Amino acid sequence: VDAPGGELRLAAARRWLSGAIALTVVAALAGAAYFFSRPRDLMLHAPVAAAERVEQLGLPDNVLNLYPWGGYLAYRWKGARKIYVDGRVSCFPASALVDYVELKHQGPGFDTLLDLYEIRTVIWAVDTPLDQALRARPAWREVFRDHNAVVYVRGGRTASR
């Protein structure tokens, strides 16, 4: 402020800063209005196409599925297929949920658990440890993959239940 014209430069800097803040606030509000005004696709992360492919191919029962997808699959298949788990945790023994965690993280005993539960079809999230493990096993054949779900069938059978 001691330099000649210092007060003018300071006032100009304050005006510029105020304008920049106002522009930022307006841009943020416009962006939020756009984001919140767009319709939401509640089924975006549900395995809709994967479930349809399981139906089309007539894949066998005893379907290992992600926990969050269980409710959707139970609703879609209306009990026509046996799924591993859904949101009704009180209906499942605690050991099944412990085993689910082992399967989800592709723990050392996951092959044994797939046999124990007689899992014949897997509908799972892409690029997860279980997806990678099943892709590498000759006993499992990938029959579907999209942006969020992958379907495997054991032994390559596609027409029986």
Largest CA distance in the chain: 90
Percent of the chain with pLDDT over 70: 89
How confident is residue 157, by pLDDT bands cut at 50, 70 and 90?
Answer: very low
pTM: 0.71
Quote the pLDDT of residue 3: 63
What is the spatial distance between Cα 69 and Cα 3, in angstroms, rounded to a whole number?
Answer: 68
